[in-house]
Structure 1
Amino acid sequence: MDKRTGPAHFLFSFFLLSCLFVLSLATELSFVTCGSVVKLLNVKHNVRLHSHDVRYGSGSGQQSVTGVTTVEDSNSYWSVRGTSVALCHRGTPVKCGQTIRLTHLNTGRNLHSHYFASPLSSNQEVSAFGEEGEGDHLDEWMVQCEGLVWEREEAVRFQHASTDTLLSVTGEQYGRPIHGQREVHAMTGPSQHSLWRAMEGVFMKPSESPLGNMDYSHPLHTEF
């Protein structure tokens, strides 16, 4: 029997077709869901929300959060999660007005803000805080959008739940060791500087189980 038509080849072909089928279904997903891992683009400044294991030299001394122009950097992935008191079941659409956490994929620290001054603009500092996805109430952000759910094509705002400020970029650039990266901070009042859009990532897709109950265990639409 030709090796190319043997059982192993058949199983591989079946697996490939199954993956393509799942991806073709997931391309219809037009909203951001809980459990998704995404990059967030600041619309005004064309930079992606970014973090890395480099700490601020002033303020809180916590892990820095910046904006980068590089598209491919893996340090720009964030996981969309619920809070300690409001679960966010994997695959469910994130609602407008819902409070979430954004956990940095590579370091496990949460997007965070507090009443420290940011290093360059002296706005409110934004950092990454916690360990393995667990921090405190200052890691919580409310999604501000126009409709019922966070649409992937929509520019949204993230309001810090404890201080009511908005995640923003105004263009200040760092020198060494993070030369050229933009300062990310929080500001009062909405503006063009505080608009963000979901870009590349893995979007968890809800699917119907045979019993008609929602099954959130199945991924996914990938756009790495």
Structure 2
Amino acid sequence: MSKLAFAFVAILGLGAMVTLATAQESQADKAAAKDAKEAKEAKEASEKEAAAAAAKAEAEDPESVDWTQIDWGKRLTRLQYRIMREADTERPFRNEFWDFFKPGEYRCAGCGLPLFEADAKFDSECGWPSFDKTIAKDTVTEHIDHKMQYPRTEIRCRRCEAHLGHVFNDGPTKTGLRYCLNSASMKFVSEKQLDKEIKTAKEKGAKPKASAPAETAESDKTGATVETGAEKP
């Protein structure tokens, strides 16, 4: 065989080897991509299953949920997060419930805990929704707040520790209290929806949990700037 023929055969052989190596590499890439895709799908399915289980557990027994493990950044809007998890304050007269007076119930926007009944709401003319009593005596927890020049009583959701607002001893009703709330920290449930929930509970054979009466006293993406003369919730 001549040198030229030998070189030609060698080139053909080298080309075949390169082609084979390329094919093997392509197959390996495809296998790796398939494995990665399957792993991703399995992870997403697992996360979806876990989320569904968590949602079911929360719906059936919210008291059993570890609310310290909730990803509030995903669960809440920006405004809600700033109010409820960072204790900010929404603007007065520019929030959802300050002048809203329909029958129903107000619940924590974070965990759904019932907070106030609509008939406890009154117009305090401060620009924020105000109530004279909670729906139950253990609904909120109280904490001393020193963010301003004088101490105030901050109120948080008993279940998920979300910041709700403040309570003052200047209420006009016989309780003498004014629970000043951020609208963003609450969600409203209409009377019709409440009736539907009771009906559903009865159909499932479960009795709706009655709230213990509250003890009465004798006595957005926007900033948190308070207008002069207004008590910040």
**TM-score of the superposition, structure 2-length normalised?**
0.27
Q: Which structure shows the bigger proportion of residues in strand conformation?
A: 1
Which has the larger share of helix?
2
Q: Which has the larger radius of gyration?
A: 2
Structure scoring higher RCO (CA < 8 A, sep ≥ 6) equals 1
